[in-house]
């Protein structure tokens, strides 16, 4: 499908120095688009629009001048407080209040489209059937709660103004130099560390960085994306065991997997207070992307194996 771009004016990308933001900006600039990159400071991008810490008082006026589309990637993803109420307050300050402050200023600046990167955690942390956009949200962690509250505020704003809102909920994103759990798995395999993950039969969808960026670009341009929520993921779901083997294959490294039963892994994690980690390693989280196919005529352009090769630096 040939799409007509909405963007003769600059596209504002927040979180431009982040894992996803860098790749998205590179893609857009490679296509000859005008990109306005917003960041906390100029330590990584000299021409960045410096916005400092994001919250309800942040001024976006200069960054929004003349912009048609905003892609809001900036978010707080980690908080050290152990108290869940404190953690939720910290996430809300950036992910809810900061997002809605930006969106209201964008609507006042006559921005046409606001693309918000949310999280599959809004749906929940695990499932027995694939999540879809019609599911009742069941966020289980403060981060996901803050994202859901931002989504709700954005929908209200879209109903009250002429600004179109597009919400994207990705699962875990993997790619070259990824941090978090995927980055840890790659490092463990590179070091040849034996892992007790050889008998896990769950099914989890991830999304490769290139696939997510391609989907964001589609949502920037496609007229039918307006005021929709989309789930996005790779074509193929994997068990944790299969993922490790295929990462090893991409690295050309042997993977040393010990077939420890899942019940024993879960018991050990519970005793160590690591139930969340056990859920991510052993639980299933499948994603139905049929809405993206039907509404946007989109399919993941990069296979899982190719995405893993790129993620391990083997492209």
CA nearest 72: which of 126, 133, 143, 16?
16
Question: Is 174 a residue of the active site?
Answer: no
Return d(Cα 40, Cα 34) in angstroms, integer.
20
Secondary structure of the chain as H, E, C letters: CCCCCCCCCCEEEECCCCHHHHHHHHHHHHCCCCEEEEECCCCCCCCCEECCCCCCCCCCHHHHCCCCEEEECCCCCCCCCCCHHHHHHHHHHHHHHHHHHHHHHHHHCCCCEEEEECCHHHCCCCCCCCECCCCCCCCCCHHHHHHHHHHHHHHHHHHHCCCEEEEEECCCEECCCCCHHHHHHHHHHHHCCCECCCCCCCCECCEEHHHHHHHHHHHHHCHHHCCEEEECCCCCCECHHHHHHHHHHHHCCCCCECCCCHHHHHHHHHHCCCHHHHHHHHCCECECCHHHHHHHCCCCCCCHHHHHHHHCCCC
**Of these residues, 116, 143, 230, 298, which one is catalytic?**
143
CA nearest 149: which of 168, 122, 124, 115?
122
Q: For tokens 């589609």, name the residue.
A: 218
Q: Which residues are catalytic?
A: 143
């Amino acid at each position: 499908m040939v799409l007509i771009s909405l963007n003769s004016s600059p596209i504002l990308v927040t979180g431009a120095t982040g894992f996803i933001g860098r790749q998205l900006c590179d893609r857009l600039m490679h296509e000859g688009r005008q990109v306005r990159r917003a960041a906390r400071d100029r330590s990584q991008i000299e021409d960045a629009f410096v916005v400092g810490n994001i919250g309800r008082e942040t001024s976006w006026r200069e960054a929004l001048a003349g912009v048609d589309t905003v892609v809001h990637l900036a978010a707080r993803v980690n908080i050290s407080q152990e108290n869940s109420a404190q953690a939720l307050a910290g996430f809300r300050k950036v992910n809810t209040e900061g997002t809605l402050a930006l969106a209201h200023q964008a609507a006042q600046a006559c921005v046409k489209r606001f693309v918000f990167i949310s999280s599959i955690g809004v749906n929940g942390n695990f499932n027995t059937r694939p999540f879809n956009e019609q599911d009742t949200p069941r966020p289980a962690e403060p981060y996901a709660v803050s994202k859901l509250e931002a989504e709700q505020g954005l929908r209200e704003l879209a109903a009250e103004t002429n600004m179109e809102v597009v919400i994207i909920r990705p699962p875990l994103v993997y790619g070259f130099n990824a941090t978090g759990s995927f980055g840890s798995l790659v490092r463990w395999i590179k070091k040849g560390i034996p892992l007790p993950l050889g008998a896990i039969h769950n099914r989890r969808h991830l999304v490769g960085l290139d696939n997510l960026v391609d989907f964001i670009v589609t949502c920037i341009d496609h007229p039918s994306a307006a005021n929709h929520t989309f789930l996005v993921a790779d074509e193929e779901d994997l068990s944790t065991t299969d993922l490790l083997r295929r990462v090893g294959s991409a690295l050309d490294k042997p993977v040393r997997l010990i077939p420890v039963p899942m019940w024993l892994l879960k018991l050990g994690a519970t005793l160590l207070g690591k139930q969340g980690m056990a859920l991510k390693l052993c639980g299933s989280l499948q994603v139905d992307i049929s809405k993206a196919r039907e509404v946007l005529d989109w399919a993941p352009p990069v296979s899982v194996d190719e995405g893993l090769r790129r993620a391990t630096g083997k492209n």
